[in-house]
Structure 1
Amino acid sequence: MSCSTGAAMLLHKHLTPELTSRLEKLKTRNGWTLRKAMQSGLDHEDSQMGVYAGDSETYALFSPLLHPIIRDHSGCNLGGHTSDFSLDGLPQGDLDPSGEFIISTRIRVGRNLARYAFPPAIGARARAELEAEVVQVLTGLKGELAGEYHPLASLSEAQRRTWVEQHVLFKPGDRFLDSAGVNRDWPRNRGIFHTPDLRFIVWVGEEDALRIISMQPGSGLAAVFRRLTSALDVLGEQLDFARDSRLGYHTACPTNLGTAMRASVLIRLPRLSRRPDLHARCARLGLAVRGLHGEHSDAEDGVHDISNAVRLGVTERDIYRQLWRGVRKLIAMETRNGILNEDSQDI
């Protein structure tokens, strides 16, 4: 999720002349300044947050500005973050055994490494070092996580286009990310690691250093969640992820802080799609709605991307539970022609 979602920019709301004077001469060890942090917001008035982090130190050094923005956006008091990947006691059955509604299920997390600058700020040499370190770990994965790494520069145009269309591969970031510096040196030292069945994928060098993805056709939310959990357990033993006890996992865009997790289903809801209150219904379930091709796209043939709306102030377990229950309710509403009260306790 990039920092752009079309609302009034929080940067302008919270940045005062006094705060500018206080922060404008500060610089992180990676050279990230206030000006660089807010460059994307200065370039694009339709940015919501207007700020990006260049490294972990950004969140501490520029906290007088960033923390109020993060609180405002998330509604979280930043009292502390706890991770919990347990599924004990939660429903784990198939949400769509007939295959009528759910086209695919996908969960991803963003991760950066503590000793490197994040993609907006990282230099060419450090980017190459980070890639080498990560690839060494990825190519050592075993079992269902075993796969191979492809540098972006090694892919044919046909393969690249096919994977992008299948939502398997990333492409250069949007204008907001471009202004933040994420697209520098494209496509050098970026790539994709994937298993033969494409159910486990790691993007290297996108908006965050790593986007770690578990996915599969159809439903199977519990299986996708467990696969991701297994991968994070292994990777976390060998890679030092950037995080702290207050903000959780550190990401380039503050909207992803906390769990840095987006759990989603691509789901066909033709009846509900015709209702003008679909987005409001999903919001009441704690869910966000995107189009068929992700953020800033429209639905096609009643197909929507439905995901958790909140990443900070919740655990990974909370996200799983909310998506499972919310999707179950949406399917019930679709089946009953949209007449079900989403607050009903019978589903």
Structure 2
Amino acid sequence: MSVSGGTWTVKTGDDETTRLFLALLFIELGPYYHLHYHPIPRPRSPDCQPPKSFSFDKMWKIKPPITYSLEAKYRPHLETLVPTDPMSLFNLKRGSPEEEFPNLKYNYTCMASILTPKLYARQFNRATQSGVIFDDVIRPGLEEPGELHGPMSVGCVAGDGQSYILFCDFFDRVIEAYQNHKISKLQESDFNHDNLKGGDDFDRDYALSCEVSVVRGVDDFGFPTHCSRGERRQLFMLAKKALDQLAEELPGKLYSRAELSQDKEDKGVTVGAPSLSQLRNGVARDWPDSRAVWISKDGTLVVWVNIDDHLRLVTTRDDANIAEAFQCICVNILKLEALYKKLRHPFIWKQQLGWVVSSPADVGTGLRASVRVKLQHLPRHKRLEDVLRRLRLRMDNTDCSEVYNISNAQTIGLDEVGFTQLVVDGVKLLIRMEKRLEGEEKIDDLVPLQK
């Protein structure tokens, strides 16, 4: 038996007891765990050959066996080996899928654009091993339906790593729609910061500062919207052990939320009260229990623990040197990855999704690279939206007038170096356009092809 890409493949001989066991697996678990049966025929003498039209490889693909002579004896024992469907442990007072389908009439999230009654019905009676049901997944989008002319949010969240497998029919469509990426493509990861070209030579009259962050989920634990107090405290202790070892090379200290002083907040490390969104989707449960922030002594790296995800590494620079910021993230995330593996709780990686975290908007690399840029004329240009789409970038307002945050619009489809390179090249082009507009010149020849 082997497991590959979320699919179990079983290969075995054809003795009767083994076939009985696999037959039960085929019947009970086939649809749930994607079991595929591939029997290996035992050697036969030349005098005992089956008809030419007979195929051992196709024998079990036609239908599972109906009965065996040993079935009455072994079936009760074999049934005890079959994992219990988590949904059978619940006694939810729910109606039919048709009766429970949510009202999405004025919902403007990505979830609402994907969800149909048929899709909802297929997910309705499923639950992960930790107890996540489909209504837990779509609740954030129901609590915050968004606005017609506002930015579209993803509108859903995974309760644990298994959610992306069990509810893949839904999550794959959401990721493809929100991030414009086909799940059939394999995700790659590259933290070789030497492969990044540029990033240390922005025009400082326009590029003011930069930030690079990366988020990670820890295997065997529920995500913040679903985890228990005990799980959250275990995650805190794991982070403490790993960060204590990281401090041997990069000195720093872990502060609980209650220990954060005004001095630390003055340095830009601010953990305010939970947002309304965090309160609604359950991330802020038991706040501030087991929430913490690790700050390096030199201030180059901040690690958020149990704030919005299991771990978030953030590097901010006032000189807009995104190459240095990216290098800091690359070096330290690789160190933490090795430390968590040593503690037997690796970060969650899935072949087609990459690094898996609670929000489908962050799967793949979990990386956000952003530069704060001063732009006076370009934001009012009629082609700005088209330019950003071609560059695969997003532009967000900041608290300062005429200052905008430019960042990667997707997190899946390219590796970490690739997304950071998009930001570097895109910011340089936007600054060139801004200079052209300052001189009242046209920018049509600078509009790029689709990245």
Report the TM range for the smaller structure's normalisation: 0.7 to 0.9
| Residues in 1 aligned to 2:113 and 2:259: alpha-carbon distance in whole angstroms | 44
| Counterpart-to-counterpart distance in 1, 2:285 and 2:174 | 26
Q: 2:368 aligns with which of 254, 259, 262?
A: 262
Q: Which of 124, 133, 137 is 1:33 aligned to?
A: 133
Counterpart of 1:84 in structure 2: which amino acid?
D
Letter in 1 for 2:191: F
Matched AA of 1:289: M
What secondary structure sits across from 1:56 in the alignment? Answer: coil
* 2:255–2:292 contact (8 Å) kept in structure 1: yes
Residues 52-82 of structure 1 show CA distances to partners (whole Å, capped at 9, x for unaligned) of: 1011001011112211121121221112211
Conservation of the 8 A alpha-carbon contact between 2:196 and 2:323: no
Identify which of 208, 215, 230 aligns with 2:331.
230
Q: TM-score, normalised by structure 2?
A: 0.68
Equivalent residue number for residue 91 of structure 1: 197
Residue equivalent to 2:296: 195
Q: Does 1:343 find its partner at 2:447?
A: yes
Which one-letter code corresponds to 1:148 in the other structure? K
Larger deviation: 284-293 or 137-146? 137-146
Deviation at 1:276, TM superposition (A): 5.2
SS in 2 for 1:254: coil
Code of the residue aligned with 2:319 in structure 1: it is: G
Contact 2:199–2:424 (CA under 8 A) maintained in structure 1: no
Cα distance 1:314–1:7, how it changes in 2: closer, same or farther (>3 A)?
A: farther
Q: Secondary structure at the match of 1:51?
A: coil
Structure 2 SS opposite 1:83: coil
More off after superposition, 111-120 vs 268-277: 268-277
Matches within 5 A, 1:37-186: 37-46=137-146, 48-79=153-184, 80-88=186-194, 90-92=196-198, 94-96=200-202, 99-142=204-247, 145-156=250-261, 158=262, 162=266, 166=268, 168-186=269-287
Q: CA distance change for structure 1 residues 14 and 333 in 2, over 3 Å: closer, same or farther?
A: closer
- Alpha-carbon distance, 1:160 to partner: 7.2
In structure 2, the residue corresponding to 1:265 is in which secondary structure?
A: strand
Partner letter of residue 409 of structure 2?
A
CA distance in 2 between counterparts of 1:89 and 1:49 reads 31
CA distance in 1, matches of 2:255, 2:302: 11
Structure 2: 5+ residue stretches without partners = 1-105, 147-151, 341-345
Per-residue CA deviation, residues 195-240 of structure 1 (Å, 9 max, x unaligned), is 1332211011122111111221112111111111100110010111
Contact 1:153 1:188 in 2 (8 A): no
Larger radius of gyration: 2
In structure 2, do the counterparts of structure 1 residues 83 and 43 end up closer, same or farther at CA, with 3 Å as the change threshold? Answer: same
1:143-169 CA distance string (max 9 Å, x none): 77321111002224x457646xx3x33
Q: 1:187 to 1:76 in 2, by over 3 A?
A: same
The count of corresponding residues between Structure 1 and Structure 2 is 329
Q: Deviations over 1:115-138 (max 9, x none)?
A: 111111111111111101111111
- Report the RMSD for the aligned CA atoms in angstroms: 2.4
Please name the residue that 1:291 is paired with: 397
Residues 142/92 of structure 1: CA separation in 2 closer, same or farther (3 Å cut): farther
Contact 1:169 1:192 in 2 (8 A): no
Is the CA contact (8 Å cut-off) linking 2:300 and 2:315 kept in structure 1? yes
- Aligned amino acid, residue 217 of structure 1: D
1: CA distance, partners of 2:195 / 2:138: 43
Task: Work out whether residues 257 and 293 of structure 2, in 8 Å CA contact, stay in contact via their aligned partners in 1.
Answer: yes
Aligned residues of 2:181 and 2:412 also touching (Cα < 8 A): yes
Distance 1:234 1:7, change over 3 A: farther
Shift of 1:344: 6.2
2:423 aligned with 1:331: no
Within the alignment, does 1:281 sit opposite 2:387 as a pair?
yes
In the alignment, structure 1 residue 219 sits paired with structure 2 residue 320: yes
Matched residues in 1 for 2:274 and 2:129: separation? 25
Query: For 1:196 and 1:65, how far apart are their aligned partners in 2?
Result: 43
Query: How far did 1:329 drift?
Result: 1.0
Aligned-partner Cα distance in 1 for 2:411–2:363: 7
Distance 2:193 2:144 in 1: 41
Structure 1 residues 13 and 274: alpha-carbon distance in aligned structure 2, compared to 1, 3 A threshold: closer
> For residue 33 of structure 2, what is the aligned residue in structure 1?
none
Contact persistence 1:140–1:146 (CA under 8 A): no
Which structure has more RCO (C-alpha within 8 Å, separation ≥ 6)? Answer: 1
What is the CA-CA distance between 1:90 and the residue it aligns to? 4.2
Which stretch of structure 1 is more off in the superposition, 269-278 or 227-236? 269-278
Counterpart selection for 1:242 from 348, 360, 364: 348
Distance 1:247 1:170 in 2: 30
Name which of structure 1's ranges 189-198 and 232-241 shifts more when overlaid on structure 2: 189-198
Instruction: Report sequence identity in percent.
Output: 27
Q: What is the alpha-carbon distance in structure 2 between the residues aligned to residue 89 and residue 229 of structure 1? A: 12
CA distance in structure 2 between the aligned counterparts of 1:342 and 1:186, rounded to whole angstroms = 49
Q: What TM-score results when the alignment is normalised by the length of structure 1?
A: 0.87
Structure 1, unpaired ranges of 5+: 1-5, 294-299
